[in-house]
Chain A
């Protein structure tokens, strides 16, 4: 067996630390371990490397698995389960979710960006944002469909100098995949917070598509302005139960000047309107700027409490059904007025002059819509369609002839 390559690799590592070592000596040690003692070659390499490292006072790799020397790789080339050596920049630090974790955040190089986790037990030096580090024998694993770099007690960390600045690659929204990504897009929608810990959630879109985003409450974080364009560096994209969602807590968010074209969505769906959901009809919205949440009957906003200076709006929430699939549709005022043939002013008047108040508007909506065949077009997220154009369908006699032929064809 030829040990010269392995010996060369070891000797280069030692030399890179500024020490010199005899290659033939390394080779002899390797041969002895493998040939005489039956040690697997990878384990032999590790043994010799560690022995020399100790001799020269170099950081010793204590990793128990993986074994062998690891070549330096770019972040984009990493795969789940690998032991790796990388050089990367800490581009974001995020709050540690657990005492078992000393630090978490995002590292990046020219090729990609990735979440990292430093275990408390690793006793690793504290990493600083904006600095480059060489991480030897870190482990790559997968969590919720995205790769993670884990720094454990066997990982050696060294700060390294780095020339030039790092320019993150911007990914089109339609091309998002779980991991860490930078996008440029416009905040096209803001949603009612569904959880106490959510600072803001909504949708961000560019020319290619739209994705949901969420910002969890954390000190120093601010909400995004609906309608504004942002470049978002190093957001994490989660795949949670089949939905892709951008989490912006780790990201650097830079407001951009001007406006961009956004994909208004081209999904369409035809079916019968089978259910009008509560919250449809005439609604009152919170007047606090940037809130716009629908108030409860008692004019209570989940965030801003009692609001008496609300404004009115019309909307439809409900389900379209084609017999095979269903879509929840959300129709805003402009389209709603046309579908039910009632303007906002007419709806207000109706509510004011009727003992049932706003419920009367809901009931009129239900009678006007449930059972009708509709064709809707808009942006789709999961099975919810945010309708931008909608029409009522009518009987088409030409379909009858086709169906008669189809049914009668094999009678």
Chain B
């Protein structure tokens, strides 16, 4: 977990998380009272998450809005779909999206946000900091990386405060995520 020492800047790490797990996240909170304090979502496998790093296939991008134009993009991994957004507050990311032609492999760094629609459904979208075109080699590396990180979280969550909290807040059987990891890996060629 990223600690904060005065004077030394520590960047929040980007969690590796599969789409299916991110989709199940509901709990979000802020550390500290300060306006600049980082905000987190709590992953069901028991880790706080301020930023994500994902790799997958960009399948669709859509320009929306007139005055405040923004891009909505869908990035697919072996377990599901990430919803990626790049708005006028992320001009660099928006320009990057503009240059991409789906379908292609991309790596995305961004911050997850929890939204509640008027009819009560919860949506998680990723506010894009950077999206770059990558090759299949990197996508496959990411699947391994994400599988390992997810298994690590499942296996270590029992002892940590965030892990305990996730167990209280989410009623999902951690075994389900183990299965998700297995199925994601099974799609890669040995």
Instruction: Report how far A217 CA is from B47 CA in the complex, Å.
Output: 46
Residue interface bits B54-91, CB-to-A below 8 A is 1, else 0 = 01000000000000000000000000000000000000
Query: Would you give the shortest CB distance from A132 to chain B, in whole angstroms?
Result: 39
| Interface hub of A272, A371, A400 (most chain B Cβ within 10 A) | A371
Asked if B185 and A400 sit within 8 Å, CB to CB, the answer is: yes
Residue interface bits B133-168, CB-to-A below 8 A is 1, else 0 = 110011011101101110100000000000000000
- Number of A-B residue pairs at CB separation under 8 A: 112
Residue interface bits B1-35, CB-to-A below 8 A is 1, else 0 = 01001111011111110000000000000000000
Query: Would you give the shortest CB distance from A243 to chain B, in whole angstroms?
Result: 7
Asked if A322 and B182 sit within 8 Å, CB to CB, the answer is: no
A353 at interface by CB-CB < 8 Å: no
Which A residues are CB-close (under 8 A) to B132? 366-367, 370-371
Query: Would you give the shortest CB distance from A328 to chain B, in whole angstroms?
Result: 8
Instruction: Report how far A376 CA is from B28 CA in the complex, Å.
Output: 34
Asked if A382 and B8 sit within 8 Å, CB to CB, the answer is: yes
Asked if A403 and B147 sit within 8 Å, CB to CB, the answer is: yes
Instruction: Report how far A163 CA is from B190 CA in the complex, Å.
Output: 77
Choose among B134, B185, B189 the residue that contacts A407 (Cβ–Cβ < 8 A): B185
A126 at interface by CB-CB < 8 Å: no
Asked if B15 and A323 sit within 8 Å, CB to CB, the answer is: yes
Instruction: Pick from A72-80, A165-173, A219-227, A390-398 the stretch touching chain B.
Output: A390-398
Choose among A242, A396, A401, A403 the residue that contacts B151 (Cβ–Cβ < 8 A): A403
Choose among B13, B55, B179 the residue that contacts A326 (Cβ–Cβ < 8 A): B13
Query: Would you give the shortest CB distance from B54 to chain A, in whole angstroms?
Result: 10
Identity of the chain A residue whose Cβ is nearest the Cβ of B11 in the assembled complex: A326
Asked if B185 and A323 sit within 8 Å, CB to CB, the answer is: no
Interface size class of B (residues with CB under 8 A): 35 or more
**Does more than half of chain B's interface fall in helix, strand or loop, or is it mixed?**
mixed
Choose among A366, A382, A395, A407 the residue that contacts B181 (Cβ–Cβ < 8 A): A407
Asked if B107 and A383 sit within 8 Å, CB to CB, the answer is: no
Query: Would you give the shortest CB distance from B38 to chain A, in whole angstroms?
Result: 13
Instruction: Report how far A242 CA is from B7 CA in the complex, Å.
Output: 9
Which A residues are CB-close (under 8 A) to B138? 371-373, 395
| Interface hub of B13, B142, B179 (most chain A Cβ within 10 A) | B13
Asked if B186 and A404 sit within 8 Å, CB to CB, the answer is: yes
Instruction: Report how far A184 CA is from B2 CA in the complex, Å.
Output: 35
Instruction: Report how far A411 CA is from B179 CA in the complex, Å.
Output: 7
Find residues 357-404 in chain A having any chain B CB closer than 8 Å to their own CB: 366-367, 370-373, 382-383, 393-397, 399-401, 403-404
| Interface hub of A240, A319, A373 (most chain B Cβ within 10 A) | A373
Instruction: Report how far A372 CA is from B130 CA in the complex, Å.
Output: 13
Which B residues are CB-close (under 8 A) to A393? 141
Residue interface bits A260-271, CB-to-B below 8 A is 1, else 0 = 000000000000
Which A residues are CB-close (under 8 A) to B7? 240-243
Asked if B148 and A403 sit within 8 Å, CB to CB, the answer is: yes
Query: Would you give the shortest CB distance from A355 to chain B, in whole angstroms?
Result: 15
Identity of the chain B residue whose Cβ is nearest the Cβ of A242 in the assembled complex: B5
Instruction: Report how far A323 CA is from B53 CA in the complex, Å.
Output: 8
Asked if B107 and A321 sit within 8 Å, CB to CB, the answer is: no
B188 at interface by CB-CB < 8 Å: yes
Which A residues are CB-close (under 8 A) to B12? 326
Instruction: Report how far A323 CA is from B5 CA in the complex, Å.
Output: 19
Query: Would you give the shortest CB distance from A345 to chain B, in whole angstroms?
Result: 25
Asked if A383 and B10 sit within 8 Å, CB to CB, the answer is: yes
Asked if B190 and A326 sit within 8 Å, CB to CB, the answer is: no
Asked if A406 and B10 sit within 8 Å, CB to CB, the answer is: no
| Interface hub of B7, B10, B140, B185 (most chain A Cβ within 10 A) | B185
Instruction: Report how far A326 CA is from B51 CA in the complex, Å.
Output: 12
Query: Would you give the shortest CB distance from B136 to chain A, in whole angstroms?
Result: 8
Instruction: Report how far A274 CA is from B15 CA in the complex, Å.
Output: 11
Which B residues are CB-close (under 8 A) to A373? 138, 141, 145
Given A272-B107, A404-B185, the answer on whether A371 and B147 have CB atoms closer than 8 Å is no
Choose among A243, A321, A371, A395 the residue that contacts B144 (Cβ–Cβ < 8 A): A395
| Interface hub of B5, B141, B149 (most chain A Cβ within 10 A) | B141
Asked if A407 and B11 sit within 8 Å, CB to CB, the answer is: no
Asked if B134 and A372 sit within 8 Å, CB to CB, the answer is: yes
Which A residues are CB-close (under 8 A) to B14? 272, 274, 321, 323
Instruction: Report how far A345 CA is from B6 CA in the complex, Å.
Output: 41
Which B residues are CB-close (under 8 A) to A407? 147, 151, 178, 181-182, 185
Asked if A406 and B151 sit within 8 Å, CB to CB, the answer is: yes
Asked if A404 and B182 sit within 8 Å, CB to CB, the answer is: yes
Instruction: Report how far A400 CA is from B181 CA in the complex, Å.
Output: 11
Find residues 81-99 in chain A having any chain B CB closer than 8 Å to their own CB: none
Given A370-B132, A406-B151, the answer on whether A322 and B144 have CB atoms closer than 8 Å is no
B126 at interface by CB-CB < 8 Å: no
Instruction: Report how far A321 CA is from B49 CA in the complex, Å.
Output: 13
Asked if A275 and B129 sit within 8 Å, CB to CB, the answer is: yes
A64 at interface by CB-CB < 8 Å: no
Q: Which 4 A-B pairs have the closest CB atoms?
A: A371-B107, A241-B7, A407-B182, A326-B11
- A–B pairs, 15, beta carbons within 8 Å: A241-B8, A272-B14, A272-B142, A275-B109, A326-B10, A326-B11, A326-B12, A371-B109, A383-B10, A395-B138, A395-B140, A400-B185, A401-B190, A403-B148, A407-B151
- Apart from the given pairs A323-B14, A366-B132, A406-B151, 13 other A-B contacts in the complex at a CB distance below 8 Å: A241-B5, A323-B15, A323-B16, A370-B109, A371-B109, A372-B134, A372-B138, A382-B8, A399-B148, A403-B147, A403-B148, A403-B181, A404-B182
